[in-house]
Amino acid sequence: GAVVSQHPSRVICKSGTSVKIECRSLDFQATTMFWYRQFPKQSLMLMATSNEGSKATYEQGVEKDKFLINHASLTLSTLTVTSAHPEDSSFYICSARRPGATDTQYFGPGTRLTVL
Amino acid sequence: QKEVEQDPGPLSVPEGAIVSLNCTYSNSAFQYFMWYRQYSRKGPELLMYTYSSGNKEDGRFTAQVDKSSKYISLFIRDSQPSDSATYLCAMSEGGYQKVTFGTGTKLQVIP
């Protein structure tokens, strides 16, 4: 299967700081990447769709000024959690859509964010 | 009513058992159906991908889609302890529409 990497795998930060998470598709070019959030024992919640070279599309209820997404190349998308607060602590997972496969997504390993 | 319903479990079975995991959905426009496996604290891994109704087999895994009943299943034969994970169903209308995930069923295969 396709390989998607995510960095860092785990981050602990103080309240008020910003955290950047990188998502890379390693063996294919992804024009579209997705950012999800997952709380314990809950399903994936789509936060935003990241399109290369254009602005991200955010889901209802997701603050675009707080969760900044940049998709500067066909293999890299970044999510920056700005002014993080303890309620932002969660498991963040990115995925990449493989060209030619309209609906299959390949997921990264996830980033566990803990805000103190 | 959620678009996709999935029993969260947990489901515990002895090693070697046949496992049946299911999802129901309400959107009749869904055409693409996926099953993902997620180990604890890891990202989901695509297991099976099917289009429209029918069966698809891959090794010990069989995916079934019954669009008339809006019901999909994943069967695991000869289950192994390494199959212990959370299984998420997912589906979409196609045409680059959003993929909707179930809440996941936690499976434990006991040696």
| Residue type for position B77 | R
ω into residue A8 within 30 of 0, thus cis?
A: yes
Which regions of A28-66 does DSSP assign to beta strands (E)?
32-38, 44-51, 57-58
Name the residue facing A43 among B88, B95, B97 (closest C-beta).
B88
For residue A103, what pLDDT band results from cuts at 50, 70 and 90? Answer: low
pLDDT in tens, B23-45: 999 999 999 999 999 998 889 99
- Which residue on chain B is closest to A32 by alpha carbon? B96
Name the residue facing B43 among A41, A46, A108 (closest C-beta).
A108
Q: How far is A65 from chain B (nearest CA, A)?
A: 22
CB contact under 8 A, B98 and A6: no
Do A69 and A75 form a contact (C-beta atoms < 8 A)?
no
| Residue type for position A83 | S
Find how far residue B9's CA is from the centre of its chain: 13
Do A66 and A16 form a contact (C-beta atoms < 8 A)?
no
Tell me what the mean pLDDT of segment B56-67 comes to.
95
- Which residue on chain A is closest to B97 by alpha carbon? A103
pLDDT in tens, A31-70: 889 999 998 777 889 999 988 888 899 999 999 999 999 9
